[in-house]
Structure 1
Amino acid sequence: MLTHEREITEPVELCLPDGRLNPAAVGWTRRPLHRANLRGWGRAKRWEYWGVVTPRHVVGLVASSLDYAGVHGVYVLDRESGEEWGRDAVVPLGRGAVMPDRSGVGTAEARGGGVAVGTREGPEGTRLRAVAPGIDVDLVVAAPAGRESLGVVVPWGPRRFQYTVKDVGRPVRGRLRLPSGVYEVGGRERGSGGEGGPEAFAVLDHGRGKWPYRMRWNWAAGSGGGVALQLGGKWTDGTGMTENGLFVDGRLHKIGDEVEWSYDRSDWMRPWRMRGPRVEVEFRPFHEKVSRTELLVVGSETHQCFGYFGGRVRADDGMWVPVDGLVGWAEEARQRW
C-alpha cells in the first residue's frame, strides 16, 4: 500500500539560485527537511497557521506574509456555548512579519491592527503566543521524540509551487484568557464553564511557496486516541503529489491517491464525505466558521466546519484503521491573491 510518491530523506533547498522550483525538492518527508529559500517579490506566500482543539474550545492562529499584505488572525470558539471571539488584521505589504525559512526552527512574528501572533521553538516544543481584544493565548505544543509530520512539495510548474508541512495531533498545554474566563489547557481543562476531558491537541500548517492568482482547496485534519488524519484536495489535483496521510501512534502512513470530496455548498452543516482507494471517511460538523476578505483585486472566502470524523483509512500494511470519533475540521477555501 506504499505511495508512489518520492520520499525525501536528506535536507534540500526548495528553490534553485534563480528562484525557480528545485526539481530535487519535489516529494514528501516525515520531518521538515526543506529550506524555503524563496527569492524576490511577487506571488510569494508565507504563513504559519496553528489550530488547537481542546475539550472546551477551538483556537485558530494565523500569521502570514502574502507580498502585498500580511493577513493575521486570532479566533476562539467555545464548543459548549457556541460563542466566538476573534480579530483579523490586514497589514499593508506585510510590514513587521517575520517568517523563518525552515519549519520547526526559529521564531515567527506578526502584529498589526490590534492583533499579535508569535511562535518560538524551544526545548519544550513550540510556544504559541497571541493577543487580540479580550483574548490572550499562551500555549506550549510538545514535540514528542520520534513523532512524524507530513511535508510535501506540490509542483504546478517551475515558477508556481508550494511547500507545506502538516503536523497533526501534537499534545498541547497552557492557558486561554477569554472574556468568559481563564481556562487551563492540557491534562484536565478547567474554567468558568466547568471542566472537560483530558485530550487537547494542536495542528500546524506551515506554508511557503509561489501561488497562481486563483486557487481553491479543501483541507481536513482531526485527532483522537493515538490516531490523526490529514486530507487535502483540489489544489494538488493533477500534480502527482497529495497532502494525504494517516498518523498512528505518531507514525505517518503517506497516502498518494487523490481523494474525492463531496459536500453541500448550500448547507455546509450537512455531512461531508471523502473517498479514495484508502479513504472512506464521513465528517459531521457541529459548527461553521465563515471568513471573507475583499481588497479590490484580491479576496478570499473560507467555510471551515468543526466536527467529528467517522469511517476508516487504510494503513501502509493494508489494514483498515477506524477514525470514528476523531475531532477536528474540514474546510473549503477560495482565493484570489
Structure 2
Amino acid sequence: MQRMLKGPGSLLDAQGNLTDIGWARQPVLDCNLDKTHFYALRFMQWMRIKRWDYYALTTPTHFFSFTISDVGYLGSIFAYVIDFETGDYHEETLTIPFAAGVQLPRNSSKGNSHFANKRASLDFNRESGGHKINVSWPGFGGSGLNANLRLALAPTHESMVIVIPIRGKRFYYNRKINCLPASGQVDYQGKHFDITPATCLGSLDWGRGVWEYNSFWVWASASGFLPDRRTIGLNLGFGFGDTSAAGENAFILNGKVHKLEEVKFQYDSKNFMKPWHMTGTDGRLDLEFTPFFERVAKTDAKVLSSEVHQMFGRYNGRLVSDSGEKIDVQNLVGFAEEHHAKW
C-alpha cells in the first residue's frame, strides 16, 4: 500500500485511462478531467464527474466548515458551525440545478473556487503562501455567517495525495491538507471570533473523480496540537475503490506525512456515539475516538441521495513515526464519519 505516484504528468491518457495509481506528498498529476471516458458518448461524462473543495477550521471552541461542490447534475453549497461547549449546531445547504454558477479549478495548487447568488457568496482563492477564504451568508442561522480567513501553506508542507481506481474506468483523485495555520476572523450569531495560528488550524479536502452510483466510505480526520506544540493531523479511511496499491491512511506531524498501511475501524453503526477504535496493521497507530457530538446530514433529491453521520470527538492513543518516535495523542479534537451516497 505504498506505491508512489511518479509524476509530473497527466492523470488520464487520451482514452480516459489512469496513467498511474498510488500516493504522493504533493500533487504531481494534472487533473485533466476533459479526458474522462467511461461512457460511449463523451458529452455524457460531465453528468457523472464529482468535484468539491471542502474547507474546515478547528478552533478551541468551534468547528466551521465551508464547501463548494459540483456532482454533475447538481451543485451543493453548504456551511455548518458546531459549538463544542454547548453543542449548538447549524447547517444550511443550497442545491443548484446543473451546478449553475459553480466555479472550481482544474487543480488543487492554483485557481479559484467561487459561487454567489442572492443568498450567499463563497470565494476560495489560492495565492502564494496559502489559501484565502471569504464567505458571506447573510441569512445563515437567522443572524448571518461571515468569514475572512487565510490558511498558510508553506512549500514544504506535505499533504496526502491519492489516486484510486474504481471499476469501469472510474477513479478518485484526492488531496487532503491538514494543520494549516489559520488567521483572520469569523462573525456568527452576533459573536466575533479572532482566528490566530497559535490555536486555530484549517484543512482542505479537495476531491475530483467518478464514483459508482452507490458508494460508501468511512473517513476520519483531525488537525490539532501535541502537548509540545507540534502540529498533528490525522487522515484515515476506507471504502470505495481499489486501494491495493495505496490507501489514504497517514498522520501529519509538523507538516510531514507519515504514511501508514491499512487501518482497521471498530465502531457501532447502530450507535455511532459509542467509542470508536482504530488500529494500524503495521502497529504504528492505536487510537480510541470518543464522540461528544453527532452531525447527521441527509439529502434526498431523487436522483441523488446522501446520508452522513459525522461524529466529533477526542482522539487518545499512540502513533509511531517513520523514525520510530512514539507519539502520545491526548484529547485531540477531530471527527470520524460514515457516509452512504447514491449519486
**TM-score, structure 2 as length reference:** 0.88
Letter in 2 for 1:35: D
Match of 2:213 in 1: 213
1:103 aligns with 2:108: yes
The 10-residue stretch of structure 1 (295-304 or 272-281) with the greater mean CA deviation from structure 2: 272-281
8 Å CA contact retained: 1:135, 1:176:
yes
Identity of aligned residues (%): 31
Pairing partner for 2:76 from 71, 83, 87: 71
Instruction: Name the Cα RMSD after superposition.
Output: 1.7
Question: Cα deviations across residues 107-137 of structure 1 (Å, max 9, x unaligned)?
Answer: 0112357233220011341001122221111
How far apart are residue 239 of structure 1 and its match? 4.2
Letter in 1 for 2:172: Q
Q: How do residues 54-203 of structure 1 correspond to structure 2 at under 5 angstroms?
A: 54-112=59-117, 114-132=119-137, 133=139, 134-157=144-167, 159-186=169-196, 198-203=198-203
The 10-residue stretch of structure 1 (5-14 or 277-286) with the greater mean CA deviation from structure 2: 5-14
**Count of residue correspondences:** 321
| Unmatched 5+ stretches in structure 2 | 35-44
Question: Cα deviations across residues 5-38 of structure 1 (Å, max 9, x unaligned)?
Answer: 22235322111123x23233x1211112222111
User: For the structure 1 residues 304 and 112, does the alpha-carbon distance in structure 2 shift closer, same or farther, using more than 3 Å as the test?
Assistant: farther
Match of 2:291 in 1: 285
Pairing partner for 1:276 from 273, 277, 280: 280
Aligned residue for 2:331, secondary structure, equals coil
Match of 1:192 in 2: none
How far apart are residue 266 of structure 1 and its match? 2.3
Letter in 1 for 2:8: P
How far apart are residue 222 of structure 1 and its match? 1.2
Letter in 2 for 1:270: K
User: For the structure 1 residues 291 and 310, does the alpha-carbon distance in structure 2 shift closer, same or farther, using more than 3 Å as the test?
Assistant: same
Letter in 2 for 1:116: S
Question: Cα deviations across residues 82-117 of structure 1 (Å, max 9, x unaligned)?
Answer: 222331011001111111111121101123572332
How far apart are residue 242 of structure 1 and its match? 0.7
Aligned residue for 1:324, secondary structure, equals strand
Match of 1:190 in 2: none
The 10-residue stretch of structure 1 (57-66 or 8-17) with the greater mean CA deviation from structure 2: 8-17
CA–CA distance in structure 1, aligned partners of residues 211 and 222 of structure 2: 26
8 Å CA contact retained: 2:22, 2:245:
no
Aligned residue for 1:325, secondary structure, equals strand
Aligned residue for 2:67, secondary structure, equals strand
1:7 aligns with 2:4: yes
Aligned residue for 2:47, secondary structure, equals coil
CA–CA distance in structure 2, aligned partners of residues 284 and 302 of structure 1: 18
Match of 2:17 in 1: 21
CA–CA distance in structure 2, aligned partners of residues 238 and 228 of structure 1: 21
**TM-score, structure 1 as length reference:** 0.90
Aligned residue for 1:41, secondary structure, equals helix
Aligned residue for 2:279, secondary structure, equals strand
8 Å CA contact retained: 1:271, 1:283:
yes
CA–CA distance in structure 2, aligned partners of residues 267 and 129 of structure 1: 36
Letter in 2 for 1:30: R
The 10-residue stretch of structure 1 (40-49 or 59-68) with the greater mean CA deviation from structure 2: 40-49
CA–CA distance in structure 1, aligned partners of residues 61 and 268 of structure 2: 27
